[in-house]
Amino acid sequence: MLIFLAAAFLLALVISADSIPWIIRVARRRGFLDHPGPRKVHTEPVPYGGGLAVALGMLVTLAIGAGAAYLNLRYGWFSRFGPSIHAAGVVSKIPSLAVYAAGSLVILLLGITDDRKKLSPAWKLAVQFCVATGTVLGGERLSLFWEGSLTGDLFGGAITVLWIVGLTNAWNLLDHMDGLASGTALLVTLAFAAIAVQTGQFFLAAALAALAGSCMRT
Q: Look at residue 38 in the predicted model and tell me its pLDDT.
A: 64
What does 171-199 look like in DSSP terms, one character per residue? HHHH-SSTTHHHHHHHHHHHHHHHHHHHT
Q: What is the pLDDT of residues 93-128, one digit of tens each?
A: 899 999 999 999 999 999 989 888 889 999 999 999
Q: Look at residue 40 in the predicted model and tell me its pLDDT.
A: 66
Beta-carbon contacts of residue 3 (< 8 Å; ≥ 6 apart): 82
Q: Look at residue 84 in the predicted model and tell me its pLDDT.
A: 63
Beta-ladder partners of 47 = 33
Cα separation of 39 and 59, whole Å?
31
What stretches in the chain show pLDDT beneath 70?
A: 37-43, 78-85, 175-178, 218
CA dihedral of 118, 121, 127, 128, whole degrees rounded to 10: 110
Beta-carbon contacts of residue 56 (< 8 Å; ≥ 6 apart): 15, 16, 19, 214
The DSSP symbol for 37 reads -
Residues 206, 139, 164, 171, CA torsion sign = positive
Q: Look at residue 179 in the predicted model and tell me its pLDDT.
A: 72
Q: Look at residue 142 in the predicted model and tell me its pLDDT.
A: 83
Q: Look at residue 69 in the predicted model and tell me its pLDDT.
A: 87
* Side chain identity at residue 89, one-letter code: G
CA 86 to chain centre: 22
Q: Look at residue 161 in the predicted model and tell me its pLDDT.
A: 96
150-174 and 180-198 are packed helices; what angle lies between their axes, rounded to 10 degrees?
Answer: 140
